């Protein structure tokens, strides 16, 4: 089997295609969550905390004050960007919560195994020969032979 045919077989497997679709959808979902966090949630949180923009929360490593991260980077100063970290942390929590809900929903949809209750089997009725033999036995016991 040649290299090209092995590669074709590998790509054609269902698991590889499923994984590729999952990665593509995951990337798109990540962009949606990033937009949700950056454009909707964080401005509301910043407003609640006194009009703070989390994206511009940072500490300049040289000890001077800069109004934006870009301004500090233009000056060639290293920055500790804890506001961006908070945004990323909130993104992660939202994605983790959504994945939790999806898994929980999938588990509830999945069929639960049916419990098999053992019912005692009723013995088959005696055959004609067995019935005659039981009658003879009973007659011998009672003395009516």
Q: How confident is the model at residue 129 (pLDDT cuts 50, 70, 90)?
A: very high
Give Cα separations from 34 to 40, 74, 79, 107 (angstroms).
10, 26, 22, 27
Query: pLDDT tens digit string along 83-120?
Result: 888 888 887 888 888 878 888 888 888 777 777 777 77
pLDDT at 144 (0 to 100)? 64
Average pLDDT over residues 37-61: 80
Give the architecture-level CATH label for domain 3-118. Answer: Orthogonal Bundle (1.10)
d(CA 96, CA 102): 10
Compute the distance between CA of residue 81 and CA of residue 42 in angstroms, rounded to an integer.
15
Average pLDDT estimate for 27-40: 83
Cut 0.95: pTM above it:
no
The residue extents of the domains of the chain are: 3-118
Tokens of 113: 């195994």
Q: Which pLDDT score, from 0 to 100, does residue 46 have? A: 77
| Coil vs helix vs strand at 62 | coil
- Give residue 4's pLDDT: 86
**Angle formed by the axes of helices 82-109 and 14-35, nearest 10°:** 130
CB 61 within 8 A of CB 80: yes
> Is the CA virtual torsion 13, 15, 16, 17 positive or negative?
positive
- Please provide the average confidence, as pLDDT, over all residues in the chain: 82
pLDDT at position 145 over 60: no
- In 3D space, the residue among 41, 21, 19, 15 whose CA is nearest the CA of residue 95 turns out to be 41
């Amino acid at each position: 089997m040649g290299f090209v045919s092995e590669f074709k077989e590998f790509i054609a497997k269902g698991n590889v295609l499923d994984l590729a679709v999952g990665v593509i959808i995951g990337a798109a979902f990540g962009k949606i969550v990033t937009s949700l966090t950056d454009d909707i949630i964080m401005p509301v949180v910043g407003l609640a905390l006194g009009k703070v923009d989390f994206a511009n929360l940072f500490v300049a490593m040289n000890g001077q004050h800069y109004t934006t991260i870009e301004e500090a980077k233009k000056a060639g100063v290293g920055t500790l960007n804890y506001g961006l970290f908070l945004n990323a942390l909130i993104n992660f929590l939202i994605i983790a919560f959504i994945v939790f809900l999806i898994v929980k929903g999938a588990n509830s949809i999945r069929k639960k195994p049916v419990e098999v209750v053992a019912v005692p089997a009723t013995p088959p009725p005696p055959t004609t020969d067995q019935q005659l033999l039981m009658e003879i036995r009973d007659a011998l016991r009672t003395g009516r032979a």
